[in-house]
Structure 1
Amino acid sequence: MTEKEMRKLSRLELLELFVEKSKEVERLKAELAQANKKLEDRRLLCEQTGNIAQAALEINHIFEQCQQAADDYLASVRSAVKPGQ
């Protein structure tokens, strides 16, 4: 709506237009808040997924170290116990 058209409106029409625009602003604010919440939820999900992946890698590394320690122990036991003894 142009400024010229707005000048031709009555006070009641201007008030109705104002109320309509206020409702639209409130609706858009609610949509924005909902979109921001979804974005934050996704951001948290991505962070948690990254944390889970990092934890899995660390656990895998621990298992590798345990396996190496077990292999070393078995090798030392086998070398200490010679066949035929």
Structure 2
Amino acid sequence: TPKTIVKKIADIMEGARGDSDSRSSRRRVAEQREDAYHDLSASQLARRISEMETRMFQHARDLEFEEAAALRDEIEALRERTLKA
């Protein structure tokens, strides 16, 4: 006969927390890479962001979602830096 599965809510939520940890680690990597673009002019930075967006969309089309997400985070960090300047 079937038995009811009894789990604590914390056990079920354990997998959900992994996503936010993964995203925050990707953001840290993106912010570190952002330092590499520190010396670029505004037009060079815009061109670089455009190139990165093209690569991001290509990764998404190829179902390489982790690579696309990493580029998305890097682009977002660069745009935030541009707005602050």
* TM-score, with length taken from structure 1: 0.36
Structure 2-normalised TM-score? 0.36
Structure 1 or 2: more helix by fraction = 1
Structure (1 or 2) with the larger CA radius of gyration: 1
